[in-house]
Structure 1
């Protein structure tokens, strides 16, 4: 089980909590009163295991940036680390960063594996512009990364 997510290039060190799906079938992020926490889709792959591990975090709150505020600035080749409860660290390398609009959102494109059998990680947050009428962002930012090592 993941315990903490570290993104050294952004200065992020955040606790991870297990999450499920919301009433609409979307990955349920941590509560809004926990803007520094990352949610991991517990029914999916564990970080470092074959498949795609999904993690979600808030972009901001009404008053300040949240845990995934800067993930759209990540670049291919940068590192994301997941510290697990077995004491091991799964290290991932960023493959790409995409912004997918909510209209015509393709879940397989966002969450599906890039290469079969490979351990992958997706970091997901809101992005683009904030629509005040719907009180939501118009897109999602999806960071894709692949496992490049595990260690202590």
Structure 2
């Protein structure tokens, strides 16, 4: 599934639909912030979003039900990748460096994030599973190195 960039107006409408997941026109219009656009304008945007495959459309009697086809998380990742490509030469570390330099992200927050990850990795059950599922040839090489190290000490 290829995701395309949305305009600001399309993204505003999709945020409403991501919140609702599926909705009728009246539901969408109720959720729009003031000043509300005309219903014909919203209808045109919905038609565009259906063409871009962000929404599916289902006729129920005389009205249409619109359902999200591309989840918010998928679009968020698409936008983040585009952002990294456009402004940070595809480097997440450059983004982090900028966030730290501009104090948009505190070093303490970053440290606590890595500390949490470290604690998760220190789980003895996780360590045991990693040990029994790791590559056997690597284990043999490590044992040989340990034996060589012990022989040299003697």
- Do the structures match in fold with TM over 0.5? no
TM class, shorter-length = under 0.3
Point out the structure with the larger strand share: 1
CA radius of gyration, larger in: 2
Give the structure-2-normalised TM-score: 0.22
